[in-house]
Each structure stands twice: as structure tokens, then as C-alpha cells.
Chains A and B, each alone.
Chain A
Amino acid sequence: MSCKPMKKDESVSLAQHRRTFFTQAAAGVSLMALAPGVRLVELAMANSEDSLPSNDKRWGLLVDTAKCESGCDECVSACNSEHGLSGHGRPETDAQWIRKVDLKDEQTGHELSIPILCQHCEDPPCVDVCPTGASFRRADGIVLVDKHTCIGCRYCMMACPFQARSFIHEDLTGQKTHSPRGKGTVESCTLCVHRIDEDQEPACVEACREAGHDALVFGDLEDAAGPLASLSSKTATRELRPDLKLNTGVRYTSF
């Protein structure tokens, strides 16, 4: 578009000129705005299900400790088989993404049993401390390790208040296609992100339901009408290590 030096008798044509400019600019801007959208559509199509992870969602878990049975470890075995976490007979170095912990109130003697796993914090200390940014939080709140950039320094394991992470201490073979994992990197619960991306619930939640306990409720914390948020709003829930103000995505009720 050319701009000639303006003369007084050209004022009319200038208005026209300006209009043309705005029309063209608007077209340009909308094209720029649309182009990534078009790209997004293409990417979303590539995904087998509807949408990319977004800030509108925040996946979480609610553990009803009243329903969680001491001695039951269906969630743990479901996790192990889903992700191919086979032990090497060395409990100190074997991977553990979810574990059952028995609690006893030191004053009253009240006992309960809870699963502890990655709490998928809103402000995860593991993500803060990771030097390469391999520990990250996906837009929909799932805390993951990008094992392509993990250098195995284990600083995240120092920082995690829940001891939810494991370091892979040996060469592995026979990994699951959907759960790549290998020596020298750190890993933890992925909330079964491969299942969530295909609109399924995490393996532990499914196993708990199938075992007849139904102590784990999976859902979107931001969706007020959804199972997780509506249940959480009706009952007292707590997060582990509330002193750290991490706003965890995994919450506990009935204790």
C-alpha cells in the first residue's frame, strides 16, 4: 500500500485511502489470528480425542479415606501393571509411583490407610528446582517429567515433600509403549496422562472401583458440576503438608 504526500484537495481520497487501509489491516490481523487456530484444529484432529490440555481444566483426585481399606493395595498393583513397574527385589531402589501408607493419630490412636502419590501441586517444588525444566506442569495441572531433558540430578526428589518420585537405578527392558521409562531419569505418577488424553480415568481409580471400594474419585477440579468438584464442595477435604501451601490436585477427605 502506497502513501503519497498529501495535498489539500486529496482529503476525500484520503478518507477512502484510510478505509482501504483498515480493511486490509483487519484482514491481515484476522489472518494472523486465525492461522494458529487453523493449526490448532489440525493438531486437535491429530489427537484421537477432542482437545489439547488447557488451563480451563485441572485434573485431580479425591481420596475418601473412609472407604480406603487398610491392607488393600489394588491401586498400587494396578499402577505397577499399567506402567510396567516391575521390582528388582530391592525395595530401596525400586520404583514406586503410588504407595499405601497406614496412619495412626499419635494422640487418639485413630487409624486409617491412605494412598500417597504425586499430589500434582499447583506450585510444585519439583518443577521449581529442576535445573533443565524437565519437571513441568502441563496446562491441565498434571505434573510430569520430560525424560528427554532429565539429566538425573535428583534435585526434584530432594524437593518433593511427599517422596512421590523414584529414580531409575538400572537398565530396563520391556517397557510399555504408553509409558516410556529408562535408567538415569526420575519419574513419578503421571495421573495416567495417556489414558486421560483418551478420555479414560487413571488405572488406580478404575482398580479401586473394581475392587468395590470406590475410594478414589477422578475429575476436573475446575468443573463445578463434575463429580470431583461437586463432591469436594460438600465435604471437608484436606491436602497433605498444608503448611507448604502448594494447593495440591490430590485431596483427602474423612480425616
Chain B
Amino acid sequence: MRAPTFQHMPSSTLFWGVVAIVTAFVVVGFASAHHMESAGHWVTGMNNRVVWGVPHVFAVFLIVSASGALNAASLASVFGRETYKPLSRLSALMAITLLVGGLTVLVLDLGRPDRLIVAMTHYNFRSIFAWNIFLYTGFIVVVVVYLWMMFEPRMNRFVGRLGTTAFAWRLILTTGTGSIFAFLAAREAFDSAVLAPMFIAMSLSFGTALTLILSALIFSIRGDGLPTALMLNLRQLLGYFVIAVAFFVIVDHLTRLYGAEHHSLERFILLDGGIYPMLFWIGQILLGTILPAVILMQRRYKTLATTIAAALLVLVGAFCQLYVLIIGGQAFPIDIVPGFSETSGFFDGVIAEYHPSLAEFGLGMGGVGLALLTYLIATRVLAFLPTSGFDSGPSS
């Protein structure tokens, strides 16, 4: 196979139309952030019991996906899968823009976003959050250098080495993101080492789904479809990754279901917790796992349309999973005095209420918009789009 060639995104009404739409999202995002920050967080659904809300669902989704978006590049330069080589530049670009989008949401949700400089100058190295600041910024630097090696012919010989670094880095990064929750010993919904590998599996799955969707988008903006061989390969990968996530979810719940200690938590998430069991069973399991798994495994659904549909379902499942994990995990009351039932004027012993506001969704969508906008604009600035080097048929 010849080395792939690349081009800039040609200007077209369609391209600028899409840019206009995602820009609108960005504007809504910043307006929402401004509203939340000037009024204070009481205008959101977040409160003293559910301290992280929808913005964090979006932020974690984008950050986890960013790591997974690097799949295509890693497969090409670390595992030598030539099929993915045409996508490697776009894949690295996606990793950066998704991460920037996610971090922007996280920062704009802070109580004092104006003190970002404090977060950059004061570190407590016992905090996984502080470590993540380095993991995130370091990841961006590594991937930028990786991209440079890909773009600069004289540097091409280092692509493999940089690819390996980036690959190792993204695994650590996702472990770090999972550990934000896994290290919270005080809350039984989080306190579990399985979260770190589960987050890695989630990153592979969400990232591959986004690679499918965004590549299909960018190729159709240019006027041709996603090459079939590429689509079929990504499709097969996505199938495996959906199963991998399901595996960790099952192991996690089985472990908690076994002893009596976590029965009430499991009852809450799986049976009588209101919106959370609904999101879990219908959103995460049915729409986000079973349906896409069936579509992706069945030979007769091997079309671009069904594959994209499966990828979109995976994303629906992703949001439901993160919502149940992050918000459900906080809504479930902490048992401060085990053996006693607790009542107070401060919501002890009761399920915490959380009603997300529009502004929170606005901020989250703004982050997605920012990721897409930078992704699209970058394709105009540098030659990210592959023009040749595609496999002619399925490689597997």
C-alpha cells in the first residue's frame, strides 16, 4: 500500500454551514457559563449534595473520548495497522480538540474560573486532580509533537516512537480520570479500583464511536463517504469495545451485589432509584450496549447508516452511563452512622434531588461545540484530510 496523501478541507457552503451551527453551540456555551458564574451556582441544579452535575457528565465524556479518539493513530503507528494510517492525523487532531472541549467545560464550571492561574501555580501532589492537570496538558503536548512528526516528512521516522509515548500516556490519563472517582473512599458508589480499567474500556468505546461519526461527517462535508474498508474495521473494533465496557459494568455490579454491604446502593441504581435505574436499563444497557452490540455483530447490518446509528447509540449509552455513575453516585446518601437511620434538615439519609438546568446543558453542549469547531477549522488550516492510501477491501 502506498503512503497516504493528505489535503486541506476545501471551502464549501456545507462546510461553513456546519461551522456556523457548531459556533452557535459555542456561543450558547459561553453564555451559559457567564450566566452561571455571574449569578452563582444556585441557578444550576447543582447543590451541596449533588456537587457535580451535567457539566461534569459532558466534561468527563469529552475527556474520556479524547483518549479513545487516538485509537486510529495508535493502531496505525503502534500496532502497524496500515488501514488506519489515512485517519491518523484526524485521529490525533480529534484527541486534542475533544480534550480542550472537555477541559473548557470543567474550568468554566469552577466556582472561581478567574483563578485558573492558581490551579496552574499551586499544586497538592496528594491530589489526583493535580496530577491530572499535568496528564491533560502533557497529553496535548505529546499529541501535538506526534502530529508534527506525522506532518514533517523528515520526522516521519519518529512517528512510531511518539505514537508509543502517546499510547502509554493516554492509558495513564484515562486511569487518572477514572481515579478521580475511584479514590473517593467515602462514597460507596465510587470507591472501586475497577473504575480505572472501566474508564479505559469506555474511552476505547466512546472514542471509536466518535471517530466513526466525525470521520463520516468530515468525509461527507468534503463530498465523499467514509471509505468502506475503514468503516468496517472501525465497526468491528467498536463492537469489541462495547462488549469490553459491558464486561466491566457487569463485574462491578456483581461484586457489589454479592455481599450485604452494598445492597441498598445496588437497589437504588438497579431497581428503585427513580431516574437512575431507568437511565441504566434503558439508556445504558438497552440502547447503549445491547442494541449497538447486535447491530455491530450482525453481518446483515454492515452498512454505513446502521454503523453510524450504532455509534450514535453508543454515545447515548455513554451519557446515560456517566449520568448514573457521577450523579446517581452522589444522589445516593452517605451512611454516616452505619446501623442507624438518619434524618435532618440537611438531607441526611434521603436521596438527593438534582434537577439539571438548561444552562448546564448549554455549557456542556458548548464544550462539544468547541471541540467540533476547533476540529473543523483545523482541517482548513493544515492538511488533515486523507486523499489516498485507503484499503480497497476489508482487512480482517
Contacts and interface: CB of A to CB of B under 8 A. Distances in A.
A116 to B, nearest CB: 7
Max chain B C-beta neighbours (<10 A), residue from A88, A95, A116: A116
Given A128-B127, A132-B124, A151-B119, A167 B51 contact: yes
A157 B184 CA distance: 10
Nearest to B48: A166
B255 interface: no
Contact of B111 (A90, A91, A150, A162): A150
A131 B129 contact: yes
A130 B127 contact: yes
Contact of B184 (A88, A91, A96, A158): A158
A119 to B, nearest CB: 10
B232 to A, nearest CB: 42
B341 A170 contact: no
A134 B127 CA distance: 11
Interface in A198-227: none
A114 B334 CA distance: 16
B71 to A, nearest CB: 29
B122 A132 contact: yes
B49 A92 contact: yes
Nearest to A134: B122
A168 B40 contact: yes
Interface in B325-358: 330, 334, 336-348, 353
Interface in B172-186: 180, 183-186
A129 B187 contact: no
A76 B86 CA distance: 65
B334 A128 contact: no
B47 interface: yes
Interface string B272-300: 00000000000000000000000000000
Contact of A152 (B110, B128, B129, B130): B110
B186 A160 contact: yes
B123 interface: yes
Interface string A116-135: 10000000010111111110
Given A103-B340, A158-B330, A185-B111, A90 B123 contact: no
B234 interface: no
Nearest to B56: A154
B122 A93 contact: no
B39 interface: yes
B336 A185 contact: no
B2 interface: no
A155 B126 CA distance: 13
Contacts of A101: 336-337, 342-344, 346, 348
A240 B347 CA distance: 17
Contacts of A84: none
A237 interface: no
Contacts of B339: 105-107
B171 to A, nearest CB: 22
A163 B47 contact: no
Given A129-B129, A158-B52, A169-B40, A104 B118 contact: no
A154 B51 contact: yes
Contacts of A193: none
A96 B48 contact: yes
A136 B122 CA distance: 13
A138 interface: no
A244 interface: yes
A143 interface: no
Contacts of A153: 110-111, 129
B42 interface: yes
Contacts of A155: 127, 129, 180
Interface in A163-189: 163, 165-171, 183-186
A106 B341 contact: yes
A103 B42 contact: no
B155 interface: no
Contacts of A167: 41, 48, 51, 111
Contact of A184 (B40, B128, B180): B40
B133 interface: yes
A131 B186 contact: no
Given A131-B127, A170-B42, A184 B48 contact: no
B168 to A, nearest CB: 23
Contact of B124 (A96, A99, A130, A169): A130
B161 interface: no
Interface in A45-76: none
A131 B346 contact: no
B224 to A, nearest CB: 44
Contacts of B48: 92-96, 157, 163, 165-167
Nearest to B120: A132
A88 B130 CA distance: 33
Contact of A161 (B111, B336, B344): B336
Given A103-B341, A160-B186, A88 B42 contact: yes
A92 B133 CA distance: 30
A94 to B, nearest CB: 8
A127 B348 CA distance: 23
B129 A91 contact: no
Contacts of A166: 48
A100 B185 CA distance: 24
6 contacts: A92-B49, A101-B344, A149-B118, A152-B112, A153-B129, A169-B42
Given A133-B123, A167-B51, 14 more contacts: A92-B347, A93-B42, A101-B337, A127-B126, A131-B130, A132-B119, A149-B122, A153-B129, A157-B48, A157-B51, A159-B184, A169-B40, A184-B112, A240-B336
Q: Please give me the 5 A-B residue pairs with the lowest Cβ-Cβ distance, nearest first.
A: A152-B111, A184-B111, A161-B186, A92-B47, A131-B129
